[in-house]
Structure 1
Amino acid sequence: MVTEIQLNDTKINITRYDEKKIEGKTQISFTFYVSSEDYHDIATLLYKGTFDVIVLERHLKFRGTIQEYSTSITNLYEKGQIGEYKLTLKEVE
C-alpha cells in the first residue's frame, strides 16, 4: 500500500492511492489531508500545476501535471481546520 507521495521536494502522507496507464502514460490519483497549519505551503505547491513525482513504494518517478483536483473545504485559514484533498496527476513529456 502506498502511504507517501513526493511532489518536487515535498513529501505528502496519503490515505488512498490508485495508479493506471492511459495511452502509455502513468496516471495516479490519491487522497490526503491538509491542516490549516499546512494549507499555505500545500496551496503554493499545487498552484505550480506540474511536478516531479516520486512514489518510492512503487519505484515510480515521472513528471506529472494536475488533471483533477478537489477539496472538501475551501477555507483552511481558520485554525484547527482539516480538509481532504483529492488529486489526479498524469505523466507529461
Structure 2
Amino acid sequence: MVNEVILDDFSLKVTDFEEGVSTNSSEKKAKTIRFDFEVRGGNEYHDVTVHLYKNTFDVKIPELDLSFRGTINNYSTSRTDFTDENSSSLFSLELIEIG
C-alpha cells in the first residue's frame, strides 16, 4: 500500500493509489499513477495549489522505490471554496511519465 507521493520536495499523504501504463504525448508507453489526498482550507490549500501549478514534477514513491519525471494528466477536487480554514477537500490527481 502506498501512503506517500513526493512531487519535487513536496510530500503528499495519499489514499487510493493506482499504477498503470498509458501512451504519452510522444506516443510512447508511459507510467501513470493516480491517487487521492485531502487538503484543508486556508494556507494548506494555498501551498498545495501553488505547487501543483508547476504541472511537471520529479515524482517519487518511496514505498515502491519508484521515481520518474511526470506531468499532470488529470485532476479534480471535491470543493471549490477554500476560504474556510476548517473545510477540507478530496483532490484526485493523475500523473503521466514524460521524457
Interval containing the TM-score (normalised by the shorter chain): over 0.9
3-state SS, counterpart of residue 63 of structure 1:
strand
Q: TM-score, normalised by structure 1?
A: 0.95
Number of equivalent positions:
93
Superposed counterparts of 1:40-59, under 5 Å: 40-59=46-65
Runs of 4+ in structure 1 off by over 6 angstroms are none
Candidates 73, 76, 87, aligned match of 1:81: 87
Superposed counterparts of 1:13-52, under 5 Å: 13-23=13-23, 24-36=29-41, 37-52=43-58
User: 1:22 deviation in Å?
Assistant: 2.1
What per-residue deviation string (whole Å, max 9, x for no partner) do you get for residues 36-87 of structure 1?
1410000101111001100011111001000101000011121201000000
Q: Which moved more, 1:44-53 or 1:16-25?
A: 16-25
Larger Rg: 2
Q: Could you tell me how far apart the structure 2 residues matched to 1:44 and 1:15 are?
A: 21
3-state SS, counterpart of residue 2 of structure 2:
coil
> Is the contact between residue 69 and residue 85 of structure 1 (CA under 8 Å) also seen in structure 2?
yes
- Alignment RMSD: 0.9
**2:12 counterpart of 1:6:** no
3-state SS, counterpart of residue 79 of structure 1:
coil
Q: Which moved more, 1:61-70 or 1:74-83?
A: 74-83
Q: Could you tell me how far apart the structure 2 residues matched to 1:56 and 1:73 are?
A: 29
Flag structure 1 segments of 5+ consecutive residues without an equivalent: none
Superposed counterparts of 1:53-72, under 5 Å: 53-72=59-78
Equivalent AA in structure 2 for residue 5 of structure 1: V
Q: TM-score, normalised by structure 2?
A: 0.90
